Amino acid sequence: MKRATLFILSLLAATLVVSPAMAKTTFVSIGTGGTGGIYYPYGGGVAEIWSKHVKGVKAVAEVTGASVENVKLAHKGETVVGEVMGDVAVAGFTGDSKFQGKKHDILSMAIMYPNLLQIVVLKKSGITDIMQVKGRNISTGSPGSGTNFMAEAVLKSLGITPDDYKDSRLSFTETANALRDGTIEVGFWSVGPGTSSILDLATTHEIHMISFTPEQTEKILAANPTYSAIDLTGGVYRGIDQPLPTIGVWNVMIVQSSLDTDLVYRLAKALFEKNDYLKKIHPSAAYTTPENAVKYSPIPLHPGTIKYLAEKGITVPDKLTP
């Protein structure tokens, strides 16, 4: 009996030794976007990398309303990491625009890839100029998304107000479906080129993408310094064969500024050093490099990322140091 009791007690002791180690698992939630864009598969790839290569971390990608919502979720601690457009990151960090004067507790961890504004109509609509959205049924993207934020900013800079159109504010997949059935006439995407929802639409319907004139581009860039003029490469979508002048903005992976430095260091290290796997998920991940983190981050970098960059011999300018 004594031996049996001692055996049971030793098992209990072993269990107590293992339990604290198990309790050290850190759960990392990644706020992405809808399933019809790139944020979600990109975030899923990042979650796989972190779960596999960062000791003690279990990461998961979550479907969200995208950029604006992701800033709010990261600030509140409801997610650890958020994928957001650079203009939204700046607005959240400074408390401008839709954040209504409230500065949010975020810093940049990495640059992801550039988003291009892609404004799609069916070719049969005859709509060829952005000013023709006036009086139309359109979708500027789902509420809380970076697409909605960017679409409204671009339209505002061209003198087009929300009273000038009827906005359904749909997700990427919903926007494509609404164009198919004629519920809307113009759909906005701010996403990396080659997004599935537009690709699918272009296989069943002839589409046209609205470009910007040089004068329109000048107005947009003057009002929005985080944007840049960029061409959508021809051949990405069926029927869009020539380069298309549009507007671009870099995507940022943000984290809570109070997040542990060592944790962010280990996450950033795995993200950058396992990039080959991430590129298999989506080729846009080729832009996710340590060098681009310094070159394109629109808000200061987290100390954990700075620690990794220092190890790689990359100098971080004062403006990116929190």
Q: Is 149 exposed, middle or buried (0-12, 13-18, 19+ CB in 10 A)?
A: buried
**Spatial CA neighbour of 265 closest among 306, 296, 300, 319:** 306
3-state secondary structure at position 232? strand
Report, as an integer, the average pLDDT of 81-109.
96
**Spatial CA neighbour of 271 closest among 38, 43, 58, 116:** 43
Write out the two tokens for 15: 């269990």
Quick check: 11 pLDDT over 90? no
Report, as an integer, the average pLDDT of 220-249.
94
Is the fold of 25-112+252-320 the same as that of 116-249?
A: yes
Query: Is pLDDT larger for residue 125 or for residue 7?
Result: 125
Query: Does this model's pTM top 0.75?
Result: yes
Report, as an integer, the average pLDDT of 236-256.
96
Quick check: 177 pLDDT over 80? yes
Question: Can you tell me the distance from the alpha carbon of 8 to that of 92, in angstroms, rounded to the nearest whole number?
Answer: 55
What one-character DSSP code corresponds to residue 163? Answer: G
Average pLDDT, the chain: 92
User: Following DSSP, what letter does each residue of 104-131 receive, concatenated?
Assistant: --EEEEEEEEEEEEEEEEEGGG---SGG
Q: Summarize pLDDT for 90-99 with one digit per residue, the tens.
A: 999 999 998 9
Q: Counting every residue, how long is the chain?
A: 322
Question: Can you tell me the distance from the alpha carbon of 13 to that of 10, in angstroms, rounded to the nearest whole number?
Answer: 5
Domain ranges of the chain: 25-112+252-320, 116-249
Would you identify the CATH topology of the domain 116-249? D-Maltodextrin-Binding Protein; domain 2 (3.40.190)
Quick check: 166 pLDDT over 90? yes
Phi, psi of 53 (to 5 degrees): -115, -5
**Spatial CA neighbour of 106 closest among 307, 309, 308, 300:** 300
Quick one: pLDDT band at residue 20, thresholds 50, 70, 90? very low
Quick one: pLDDT band at residue 23, thresholds 50, 70, 90? low
CATH of 25-112+252-320, one of 1.10.760.10, 3.40.190.10, 3.40.50.300, 3.90.930.12: 3.40.190.10
CA 177 from centre of chain = 22
Quick check: 164 pLDDT over 70? yes
What count of other Cβ atoms lies within 10 Å of the Cβ of residue 292? Answer: 18
